[in-house]
Each structure stands twice: as structure tokens, then as C-alpha cells.
Amino acid sequence: MCGITGYVGAREASEVILQGLHTLEYRGYDSAGIAAFANGNLAVVKAVGKVQNVEEKVKALGTLNGAHCGIGHTRWATHGAPSDINSHPHGNERIQIVHNGIIENYAPLRAMLQKNGYTFVSETDTEVAAKLIDYHYANCHDRADALIAAMRDIVGSYAIAVLFADCPDTLYAIRKDNPLIVGVGEGESFVASDIAAVLRYTKNYYQLGDHQLAVVTKDRVSILDMEKTPVEHELLTATWSIEAAERGGYAHFMIKEIGEEPEAIEKTLRPRIKDMLPCFEEEGLDDSRLAGIKSVTFVACGTAMHAGLVGKTVIEKLCRVPVNVEIASEFRYNDPILNKDDLVVIISQSGETADSLAALRLAKEKGAYTLGIVNVIGSTIAREADDVIYTWAGPEISVASTKAYTVQISLLYLLSIRMALAMGKLTEDAARSYTRTLYEDMPRIVREAIALEDEVAEAAALFCDYEDLFFIGRGIDYHLAMEGSLKLKEISYIHSEAYAAGELKHGTISLITEDMPVIALATTSPLYEKMISNIREVKARGAEVLLITREGAKDAADEAKKVIYLPNCSELFSAIPLATILQLLAYHVAAKRGCDIDKPRNLAKSVTVE
């Protein structure tokens, strides 16, 4: 949410920063701006709209030409509508900053600064932070002290990169609860929200910790704590390649990332399989720990929460322990009841989602054992959870999450098998047989699901002109319906509801008419006949039905306008190819409607505000 990048070195700063902002645009795209030292001046260029707009302005004005030190920002508005004025950077002739996060106490800080003679031109909390740092600097005459004083004053979350006009070759950065890395190159340095922004220049970086301050010149990085004591940090090396973070020849990141699912599943499962059994010992999850678990709570947001619902179905089926799935923004304020034998699993692609992070901290406070299932290495949730299992999905740039979800659910299947084995609910032979099917078959089966793309695109044509539709399913299919519905809403702007098929007749069936098509998911054999009855009920009210079911499902073709058959696979794991098909469906509906698929309106990836 909001992308920050900064550069100091021999290259043309505005070019490096613009490049970084294009890469970070998935984090926010309603306005952008750059500040840099050019010809001895601290120059600022900003514009409402996508990074492209500020890029054109930078070229047209030429005021940043020759700058070798600067900061940039692409915004997802929180305080103040998207506009030139509200775009970052903010500040005055002495200081410019870019900010990601929310300054919760910006109103009293603003009032205090106004009393001290400051005026404000924007509606943003960021301008308050900029002037607060300036106020402290004017009083203490020490840049690090001023930043530390500001950190003491600010309540909220922030990653902030700063330029001081009287220090033209240095980037300063501070953070709390928002990601910020410092990239280290040969005679050049970077700051960024995400390593992807600087991958074309360096793979080496430091992860700034909470309440830390980075002082960055072209050949030196110092990281200090609130007492100005230097902090030792491990220099990390990104495993992602620049190609992985770029679109290649694909029309959208979303379709590229769906295409990466088979490989991502394989990559995630392989290191956790020994002797064809799941093994999480390297992650700290040995059998004695797993065997003692009395209940599991998944906490996450959006798509990651939907992955937790799949985890619930599978763990309850294989392990027979109760599983709750909680929306992180609710969990954190609901005073949850947790004990030390409870496992709390935080699922997060970014590892930075504000509500999920708060939920993790609360679960730890309550004494539960916490496990992060996270994609981004070194992210805050990954660092703070008692243990972490990384989903090796590679960078996910599309705002709509696809491969991260498919990999999360694949991993949850593997974890469930190990838990069931540790709890004595599965024999070694049965666990081995499930593991083999998951590991050896799923990448191929997801490839087969992707090969159905043309057929899915045909089905998409049936729905793209409607403004409302329903997804229905039972059991695990209902949970997949929720994810399919979210994906479709998010990128195509079609309003859709996901309903437990048996619940429709308790009220909502009144909405079913010939103008309300229904996508029915029926991949669970014991529930198939029940689903067929529900399909007949909606057809009787005029609805067109797309049925997604298993190969060989009885009389399926007679029941729906169109049927998509899943590739033949073990029923336990059919959620995995079903997820891929639903993602392709959402993609093709959105493509036919001409939507901006990778950057849906009002959204941003990595939701680091509450």
C-alpha cells in the first residue's frame, strides 16, 4: 500500500526512481511524485494518476535532470483524495518526505505545528510528518535526533524516506509496521518498499526493523536504533530474479502468475517432503508439537482468509481437531479465547498486512503458538511468528492474488497430512499415499486446468454482460465459491454473492431470476445430488447456470447451460485445480469487460493500513 523508492549513486536518480515506481505501482496507483537534488536545489515533481503521468511531467519539465539522489512515491490515498497537491513528496524547502502508512495522531500534531507557525497545503497526514521532522530539526540541529524525536511523537504506522536540503547526498529512512528495505549496490544505494523495485540493480538488501533509522549514502549504510546505537543487520540476498518481477510477454501479471502455479506448487512442496512424507522439522514443527495441538485458528484477510477455510475443511477431515477461521480485522478486536495448546496460523502473501500482523501480536500475547504461512521472505509476520513456513510462490505483482492462494492451499494440505500423522489419525502408508498424490500429481493437474483456458474464456462470455451473479457450492466448494466470487468482484466489478447452496432457499432465492446467472461448484461426490437439486431450484426461477464439476459427473450436461469438467484428480485435492479455473474465469470476464486487470480501482496490494 503506497510504494516508496529512493536512490543515491552515479546514475540518473529520476530514471532509477521511475523504474522502481513502475515496479511498485501494484502497491498504489492514484498519484505519484519524486523529489531529488538537481543543480543544487531540492526539486519536486508530482502528478495525480498513474506513474506514467509523473514520468511524462518529469521528462517535459527537465527539472530533475542530473540529480543523483532522490526519493519517489506511488500513492494509495488514505488522507485526502488523489490530487496533485495530496501526492507525495511533502515538505518544504528544507525537507521532503515520502510516506507509506497512517499517522493516527496527525490532528493534534498538526495543531501543535500550526501553533508553532507551520501552514499546510494538503489534507495529508504525510505533510504533518514532514513538518514535524522539520520542526524537530530546527530545534535540535541534528538530522538523526530529529527523526528519532518524530518517531517518538508519531502514533501509527509508517515507512518514511527523507531528503534534507542541507545534506544532498544522503537518504534517511525510518519505519514502524510498514516494510522498508535498503538495497546495497556497488557505489550506489537504494531504499524501497519492496526488493522488487531495485532488483535490476542489486539483489542485496537490509530489512529495516521497527523504530530504526537508516542513513544511506552511495557507499555506506548505517542503521541506528532509537538511542542512536548502530544495529547489526544481516545482508540478505533476494532469490527472486528480475524476470520474475516483470510481465514478460503476458498481457497482465495476473495471467502470468496463474501460469506459474504448477511450478510454484512444486517448489513449495518439494523441500517439505522426505521419504514421501511431509516434514516441517526445518520450520520448527516437529511431531511432538503438532500432536499436542488442541485447536487451530486461521487468521487472515481476503483471499488468504479463504485459504484458511480450505485448511479448516482438510484439517477437520484428516485430524478431527476443531478449526476456526477468523477475519483478522475482526479477530483483533473480539478478545479471542486462546490457550498455549492452540495453534494460530496467520496466512499472508505479503507478510505485512496490518490487521493480520496485529492479530499475530495478539495471539502471541495470549500465549498461543503462532505459525506464519507467508510468501515474502523476511517480512514482518514472517519475522514475528514463532515459526514460519514460506510459500515459495515468487513475487506476486497482480493485485488480485492467484498463485499465492493456490500455493497456500497446497501447503495447507501438506501440513494437514503431517498433523494427522503426528496425531495418529493417519497411518504412515495412508499419509505417504496422500503426499505422493499431492506432490506428484498436482503440478500436472494444475497444468491441465490451465490448458482449459479457452473453454473457460467461452464460459466467461456467458457472464460478462451481467452486473450481478451468484456462486453456489457446498462444503469445500462453498469455500472455493467465496474465493471465486471475490476474484470476480475485485477485477471485473460485477457484483457477486457466494452462497452455501443449501442456504439459498432461506431467503436469498428471492433474488434469483433470469437476470441472475449462477455459477455452481459441485466437485464433492457425496454432495453432488444435493447440488443438482439446488441447481434445479435456480433454473426453475430462470437462472442460467454454469456448472463446474468432476469428470464423469452424472448427467451434468443436462443440468446446466455450460459445464466445465475439472481435470481428473483425487477428490481430496480437487480444490487446487478448481481454484485455478475460478481465477481464469474471473480473468476472462474482466478482460472481456475491458477492465484494468492488474490494477483494479480503489485497491492496492499489501494492505499495510487498518
DSSP 328-394: HHHHTTS-----TTEEEEEEESSS--HHHHHHHHHHHHTT-EEEEEESSTT-HHHHHSSEEEE----
- Per-residue DSSP letter, 230: B
Q: Assess 606 for contact with ligand F6R (CB under 6 A).
A: yes
Q: Are 325 and 308 in contact (CB under 8 A)?
A: yes
Nearest residue to 162 (alpha-carbon basis) of 151, 234, 197: 151
Residues belonging to the chain: 610
Of 23, 329, 349, 534, the one binding ligand F6R (CB under 6 A) is 349
E strand or H helix that includes residue 591: helix 575-592
Catalytic (active site) residue 605 = yes
Which window, 331-339, 347-355, 470-478, 584-592, contacts ligand F6R (CB under 6 A)? 347-355
The residue among 26 and 573 lying less far from ligand F6R, judged by its C-beta, is 26
Is the alpha carbon torsion for 334, 340, 346, 351 positive or negative?
A: positive
| CA dist., res. 67 & res. 46, Å (int) | 16
Q: Give least dist CB 376 to ligand F6R, A.
A: 8
Of 301, 325, 449, 591, the one binding ligand F6R (CB under 6 A) is 301
Q: Assess 400 for contact with ligand F6R (CB under 6 A).
A: yes
The residue among 27 and 46 lying less far from ligand F6R, judged by its C-beta, is 27
Q: Give least dist CB 400 to ligand F6R, A.
A: 4
Q: Name the H helices within 367-425.
A: 380-384, 403-422
Three-class SS state of 461:
helix
Which window, 87-95, 138-146, 345-353, 522-530, contacts ligand F6R (CB under 6 A)? 345-353
Of 545, 584, 607, 609, the one binding ligand F6R (CB under 6 A) is 607
Q: Are 347 and 304 in contact (CB under 8 A)?
A: yes
Q: Give least dist CB 374 to ligand F6R, A.
A: 8
Which window, 43-51, 125-133, 240-248, 350-358, contacts ligand F6R (CB under 6 A)? 350-358
Binding residues for ligand F6R, rule CB under 6 A, total 15
Site for ligand F6R in 459-488 (CB under 6 A): 486
Instruction: Spell out, one character per residue from 304 to 333, where the chain touches ligand F6R: x when CB under 6 A holds, - when not.
Output: x-----------------------------
Q: Give least dist CB 540 to ligand F6R, A.
A: 34
Burial class from Cβ neighbours inside 10 Å (0-12, 13-18, 19+) for residue 536 reads: exposed
Catalytic (active site) residue 366 = no
The residue among 348 and 574 lying less far from ligand F6R, judged by its C-beta, is 348
| CA dist., res. 398 & res. 247, Å (int) | 10
Nearest residue to 197 (alpha-carbon basis) of 164, 238, 162: 238
Residue 576 CA, distance from chain mean position: 19
The residue among 154 and 347 lying less far from ligand F6R, judged by its C-beta, is 347
Of 350, 496, 523, 549, the one binding ligand F6R (CB under 6 A) is 350
Residue numbers at the binding site for ligand F6R (CB under 6 A): 301-304, 348-350, 353, 356, 400-401, 486, 490, 606-607
